A and B are shown apart, each in its own frame.
Chain A
Amino acid sequence: DAGITQSPRHKVTETGTPVTLRCHQTENHRYMYWYRQDPGHGLRLIHYSYGVKDTDKGEVSDGYSVSRSKTEDFLLTLESATSSQTSVYFCATTPTSTYEQYFGPGTRLTVT
């Protein structure tokens, strides 16, 4: 295991409320990623970070923002949650972009 934890593991929230998901790693990996997984779509990249304060967009970044103020933490924020953001969210880390990615256990988010 690469020492990746995600919190919360489950969350139910209402449409229009802000939500922040946290990914925490203990491996000092430089790269961190947020994915969402929905039935029939596999995993889709939302945002990723290649260092502290360095982030970039993925395939499905609309409606999401991220922040990375410390190497070990990567936060994903839904400013105003919508039902279409109901999904399972996975965080991943890797020491270099060419190395294998290690995934966290996931966060199941339901927006009602």
Chain B
Amino acid sequence: DAKTTQPNSMESNEEEPVHLPCNHSTISGTDYIHWYRQLPSQGPEYVIHGLTSNVNNRMASLAIAEDRKSSTLILHRATLRDAAVYYCILRPVLADKLIFGTGTRLQVFP
């Protein structure tokens, strides 16, 4: 399975944009890029996913590099509730499971 590399931790101030990077240099053409986040003392929750094009939803935006070797999760205005561990995961198109890494712990300061 292709692997992802994320920074262990990042910090942001409230109401500022946050860009969470993910490197996946061994990604294959049929791997989807998924992002989940885990708030303290909760199970993970789905954030967004994409294949080649940038994606937007109510929670975040996903920017995918043209060569697909990296991607960035964008939180447009961080809130204190966005403090969580964010996981970048590659899912092969026919795979029926997700393989989580250790993610990026995002701290948001008021």
Contact = CB atoms under 8 A, between A and B. Distances in A.
Given A40-B102, A42-B103, A97 B97 contact: yes
Interface in B11-45: 32, 34, 36, 42-45
B2 interface: no
A59 B101 CA distance: 12
Contacts of B101: 42
Interface string B67-102: 000000000000000000101000101011111111
15 contacts: A42-B85, A43-B44, A43-B100, A45-B97, A45-B98, A48-B96, A50-B96, A58-B97, A90-B44, A97-B97, A101-B98, A103-B44, A104-B43, A105-B42, A105-B43
B96 A42 contact: no
Interface of A: 31, 33, 35, 40-45, 48, 50, 58-59, 90, 92, 97-98, 100-106
B100 A44 contact: yes
A84 to B, nearest CB: 19
A104 B42 CA distance: 8
B96 A97 contact: yes
Given A90-B44, A103-B43, A106-B43, A98 B93 contact: yes
The 7 A-B residue pairs with the shortest CB-CB distance in the complex, in nearest-first order: A103-B43, A97-B96, A100-B46, A43-B100, A42-B102, A42-B100, A90-B43
Given A33-B97, A97-B95, A41 B102 contact: yes
A33 B98 CA distance: 10
A43 B34 CA distance: 15
Contacts of A90: 43-44
Contacts of A40: 102
